[in-house]
Amino acid sequence: MDFIPAKESPFFITLFRYYTRFLFKRRFSRVWLKQGYSPGRRSKAIYYLNHHSWWDGLIPFLLNEYRFHQQARALMEDKQMRAYRFFQKIGAFSINRADRRSAIRSLRYAVASFERPRASLFIYPEGTITPAGSALEFEGGLAWLSQQLPQVDVVPIGIYMHTIRRDKPELHLQVGSPVEPPPTLSTQERTHRFEQELETIIADLRQHAGFNDSIYERFL
């Protein structure tokens, strides 16, 4: 399958910003945020997230438009890109994980995207939607990108949905601090370090989300 590049449309992004906010307010009773990282004026960042639902595809856009304000792009499975072509207009580009050569092309495109000022990238390193509660098993793309872009912040973001208090679900998001693995680590070791950092955040979400509102702020 052919590679699908990002083709951002400022006009579409403006309209879609308000539509996305409306969707989340309608779908969730509350959206909460614990933010341990805010990009500086010249910061560039790779944000990596756990992937358990369809809504995960819109969370990066929501966070970037209302908090991070960077030139954001996102890696997205090629099958999903073809099913939801509008993602191309908000900065998504495709990756075919079944074809090594194609996957490498997508990762190189991601690296080239960081030539833009205040660039960022959102990535789901598990590569596909996984059952909530399962152990994280990342593919090697995130570690490879971090090696190619040593000056870029690598930031974990945990996503957790629950119906502890209401029949309508609540969404909790937790943005961690940048992960800085030693440069001597192998790709496998770096991958494991990134997994551990996100697993710690998810464990924190499971312990506190729905029980202690004081450590979160109301996002939506």
Does this model's pTM top 0.85? My answer is yes
Query: What does the DSSP assignment read for 42-55?
Result: T--EEEEE---SGG
Give per-residue pLDDT as tens, 35-62.
Answer: 999 999 999 999 999 998 989 999 999 9
Token pair of 5 as six digits: 């590049």
96: confidence class by pLDDT, cuts 50, 70, 90:
very high
Q: Which residue has the higher pLDDT, 144 or 134?
A: 144
Query: What percent of the chain has pLDDT above 90?
Result: 88
pLDDT recorded at residue 1: 60
Give per-residue pLDDT as tens, 163-183.
Answer: 999 999 999 999 999 999 999
User: Are 51 and 75 in contact, with CB atoms under 8 Å apart?
Assistant: no
Mean pLDDT of 92-96: 95
What's the rounded Cα separation, in Å, for the pair 10 and 17? 10
